[in-house]
Amino acid sequence: MGHVKLHIPGPVEVSEKTFRAFCTPMIGHRGQGFKDLYARIQPQLQQLLYTQQLVYISTSSAWGVMEGAIRNLVAKKVLNCMCGAFSDKWFDVSKRCGKEAEALQVPWGSPIRAEAVAQKLATGFYRHFAKGISGPPVVSRTDLTTYQDVPTFYTFTFSTGGFVIMAADDASIPVLGYSFDSPMPEEITNPATKEWLESYSHEIWQIVQHHLDNTETLKEWNAMRRGEYAPSTRDVNPLLTTTWDQGCFYNALCPADAGATSDNGRVNSRMVWPDPSPRSTRPELSSTIMSFSL
């Protein structure tokens, strides 16, 4: 006698081979028999799921897997990308587990764009490190940089001042550059800055073209998704507190050129180490002269 074949997400059609396996005696989940079985099916599961990582099998419902993942892998914060019923459940489970869950939600069936994820991560980075910012950071402008039509990085400028540059591929480190007060001009005219950004764009294009491995860099991306940032990440204060220029007053002692005073081309500055530190614990900078092109 025939039976109804199920083609639904829940209970599924069971093959005759599987039925026969159910007729064999039970084995203990802590015994060698189960260890051998689990080890034997791992390569096939990895091939099926296109991964080289260990595949865990759970006999619970999807909620059990979600809760286990959240409780074991999320320390404090998590970014939930939501585009359907099951991804919405991840957000619910994250909150029920007491995590600081942030939602990135789009209409059901719509894709989660890389730009949207990068903006969320850039905003979290800015919010974590920028000091004296009241209220949630607001992105006022987004610039996409491409190399030979390949997206390479995004520049997110914030209404409260500053910007964060995020790579467009997770085989690169996430944050390429940032400022918490200076704006990023819409048109880059400074040759050094322009060359710096173009070199980043070319390097990320190379990453994409050669399909470089993202095993190491993905750790940094995932840490940012969890709201975890390296302690060493900090803003470097200017070596000089004076704002220098090349024109009027700064070029007063420069020679005249065609009836006009030429611009001051270079400022030589001497670094002075603060005296309160014991001499034995600071480097000898008393005779060091640093030359800066401003």
Q: What is the pLDDT of residues 161-170, one digit of tens each?
A: 899 999 999 9
Alpha-carbon distance of 158 to 124, in angstroms, equals: 12
Residue 178's CB is within 10 A of a number of other CB atoms, namely: 21
Q: What is the tens place of the pLDDT at every residue in 56-75?
A: 888 888 889 999 999 998 88
Which band of pLDDT confidence, cut at 50, 70 and 90, is reported for residue 50? very high
Q: What is the tens place of the pLDDT at every residue in 247-285?
A: 776 777 777 777 777 666 654 333 333 333 333 343 443
Closest CA to 123 of 137, 107, 141: 137
Alpha-carbon distance of 72 to 226, in angstroms, equals: 12
CA dist 206 → 117, 144, 149 (Å)? 22, 17, 13
Q: How many Cα atoms are found within 13 Å in the side-chain-facing hemisphere of 57?
A: 11
Q: Which has the minimum average pLDDT: 1-15, 48-62, 92-106, 118-132?
A: 1-15
Which band of pLDDT confidence, cut at 50, 70 and 90, is reported for residue 232? low
Select the more confidently predicted residue: 231 or 104: 104
Select the more confidently predicted residue: 229 or 197: 197
What rounded mean pLDDT belongs to the chain? Answer: 83
pLDDT of residue 233: 53
110: pLDDT strictly greater than 80: yes
pLDDT of residue 92: 95
What proportions of the chain, in percent to the nearest 5, are helix, strand and coil?
Answer: 35, 20, 50
Residue 165's CB is within 10 A of a number of other CB atoms, namely: 21
Whole-angstrom Cα Rg for the chain: 28
Contact call for residues 227 and 100 (beta carbons, < 8 A): yes
Helices (H), the chain: 16-22, 32-48, 62-73, 85-96, 114-129, 191-209, 215-225
To which residue do tokens 């039925």 refer?
19
DSSP letter, residue 290: E
3-class secondary structure, 270: strand
